Amino acid sequence: MTPAARIADALQSRRHILLLNHVSPDGDSLGSTLALARALWARGRQATVGSADGVPGMYRFLPGSDRVVRDIPEGAGVDAVVFMECSTPERAGGLAVRAAGVPLWVNIDHHVSNAGYGDLILYDPGAAAVGELVYPIVQALTPRLDAAAATCLLTALMTDTGSFRYASVTPRTLAIASELVAAGAHPAEIYTEVYENRPPAALRLLGMALSGLVVCEDGRVAWTAVTQQMLRDAGAAMEEAEGIVGALRALGGVQVAVLFKEEEPLTFRVSLRGRGAVRAHVIAEAFGGGGHAAAAGFTAHGTLPDVVARTLEAIRRELGAAAAS
């Protein structure tokens, strides 16, 4: 019996299954818990999807997202908990306490940082999304996938792979996507809901940030800033700066992209993206921050020119180390 079949088997004999998203839930976590809940509902089980941080607006189109709860009462009779994409149980945020004393813990993840907790574990760091791991469980529970579950799972796959363009994409990712589209999921509609629903202020802010783009270190470093003044001019909130540092990836030859966000006067949140041999987290760690090689961040105090100068110095050190490696 495969781990997926074992999990399907264990869940369908339970009375009330609690499916937990991680804090700041993404499309992969939400799509996966909702698809699995749907399959359990179809089998007549009680299943509750929990998300301590609720459902971000861009994911409210997901079928069943209106039934996601931020908390459940004690004594709800939960006899199984599924932790979705939670490297530790604590990643479920305030809802983690609801798992205490529950007899069956299921841990489904694809992050190398997973702590290996739980009674049943479905862990595959080679999966591009946990949606890939949940798909066979859903199939085992409901052999005829409905369009709503297919939409949830395709959202999981698309959002965790940048629409099938990350290095994590395998033949399996695309084969599953093919079956999900055959079952009634529409990639164009999902893409529109998730990525094409931005307010004009967000696009104006992106525009201002890109207009002020600076490229230095022989084209290896690109940086820009979002100031409080720019937010006022664009009529935008700082959340709308999401995606700006990613947009700098479109530049050829850039190894480090940096966005300086003025959180308040003399305080900047600095987001870093690394490419190739450059380790973004090493740069961030010099300022007490962290992350991975591809994406990291830290907070720094001072004027913008001062923070920029100190950051560029740390970047130059890492570029030297990367070149020597």
Contact residues: a copy of itself, CB under 8 A: 158, 162-167, 169-175, 177-179, 181-182, 186-191, 195-200, 202-204, 206-213, 215, 219, 222, 247-253
> CB of residue 321 vs a copy of itself: minimum separation in angstroms?
23
DSSP class of 264:
E
Closest approach of a copy of itself to the CB of residue 250, in Å: 5
Among 209, 267, 277, 211, which residue's Cα sits nearest to residue 242? 209
- Nearer of residues 57 and 101 to a copy of itself, judged by Cβ: 57
Phi/psi at 314 (5° precision): -65, -35
Q: What value, to the nearest 5°, has the Cα angle with vertex 30 and ends 29 and 36?
A: 90
CB of 31 to a copy of itself, least distance (A): 16
Of 162 and 302, which CB lies nearer to a copy of itself in the complex structure?
162
Helix (H) or strand (E) holding 293: none
Of 30 and 190, nearer to a copy of itself (C-beta) is 190
Q: State in angstroms the smallest separation of the CB of 215 from a copy of itself.
A: 4
**3-class secondary structure for 110-151?**
CCCCCCCCCCEEEECCCCCCHHHHHHHHHHHHCCCCCHHHHH
| Identity of the residue, 4 or 154, whose beta carbon is nearer to a copy of itself in the bound complex | 154
Nearer to a copy of itself, 76 or 216 (CB): 216
CB of 137 to a copy of itself, least distance (A): 21
Strand order from edge to edge, sheet including 46-50: 46-50, 16-20, 80-84, 105-109, 120-123
